Chains A and B, each alone.
Chain A
Amino acid sequence: MIISSAPMRISFAGGGTDLPDFYTRYPGRVISTAIDKFIFIAINHAPYTNHVAARYSLSEEVSHPSELKNTRIREALLDLGIEKNIEIGSFAPIPARTGLGSSSSFSVALLKGLYAYIGKKLDKREIAEAACRLEIDLVKEPIGKQDQYAAAFGGFNMLQFNPDGTVDVEPVLLDYKKRMALESHLILFFLGTTRDASSVLAEQKANTQKNFETLKRMSDSVPVLKEALLHADFKSAGEMLLEGWTMKKQLASAISNPGIDRLYEIALDCGAWGGKVLGAGGAGCLMMLAPLERRAAVVETLTAGAKAEGFEAACEIPVGFVQTGAEIVVNSYGR
């Protein structure tokens, strides 16, 4: 058996500038960090069965990969020419569609594992590019490239999406004190509902022309946010998140809704500096930065507020940042 893993991520700014409609005209930029929540993929060689099995939230057993409902597993197996005798399962600590980039983490871990299965080792960049190709070209998701790079590389990075399609990965070199201080100031608040990123992103993609100037400002704000983080100026960083969130809401109608807007407001009233809804928006996780002395109060207020808005399962998710990217955890078929 092979077990591979890839981390989920928190994106601080620049989401949407990783779509080709934008970055082919102006360099897109995103700043994000990998977090200590991992997707695990288990791949089993089953030589005495003729089937292909995929076990995730559904359990599928088919005679040929082309019959699979799971689009990522289907296209990956077809692309690699793996037609039978394989079982693939996925495991995660957090439900899918929460804005933590989990679907791309899934693709990254899947490809890392499948390449190991056919005896090939890929480095971080190769895995990131393979995952972009799988999701964007083969599965035809209307998504950008930031999550595949975040999951494959791990760590805290500023990504730049160049007009020629290349991606620069520049590490944000926070020392442990600043990194852990930022973790303490950060609140990751799970709203308990999920959404399909594609519908929000499809609208956002259609609006790229209309939103070009806003996206440009978002891209240009990324290096400024990076400097604030490097100086451990989390108050300024939080205020920039507030500004970024205000801009992001203009990109597509479904990014926010009145319930989320109200929660954001009460967090600010309670002393939080700023934040954003993670991922394509609409639901998922609310991420806020707050002064340490207000942190517990903000969490308490959000929990009560979320209940009042009908987010019954809402809760804080404790989170740490990790350097780890895509990994092979176990490979019993040899190295």
Chain B
Amino acid sequence: MNLLLAYRSYKELILNGEIQSKTEGEFLFVDIRGNVTGDMLVFVGPKSPIAFTEPDILHLISIDKDLEMLSKEAFESLRQKFKGLTLLPVVLVWLFGIGLSIPYVFWKYEHICAVITGENILTGIWSLLPLIILVVTSYILSGTIGFSLLKYVISIVMWLFRMVRLIRNRKVKELQG
């Protein structure tokens, strides 16, 4: 769930350069946008495309009953998205750790089984030590390492997006002759 939230936040940030949360009341809309440095823009405006004067909008704010409650939900949604931005680096480190652990577990399978079954506990614990160090390091330094890793992951994702776009465009052009 949290990973999905983080993925959505980063996807939005990469595609739009900002994260956004929007809601609509009876007469007005609230549009909140935040960027990666934490700067925020809050827009309040009429739902209809007709131009209103500022006093009219202020009057609409006072009579739009749902707007206050809905805007709280929009802020909560944005808060979760910002939380997602800080979550992904941590998750990345854990995934990286799991990726390293799986081959190791296969390699030391017998020794790890020995710990579980109670035979040759000392050798088993010695074999488990790298895994324990990996878990502790991930726990303590996940935020810091994660942000460094993220830079490379984002570069790869952006490169993939560009490649997909180029391939797709070429197909369209070929179809047009």
Partners in one complex: no
Q: Which residues of A contact B (CB under 8 A)?
A: none
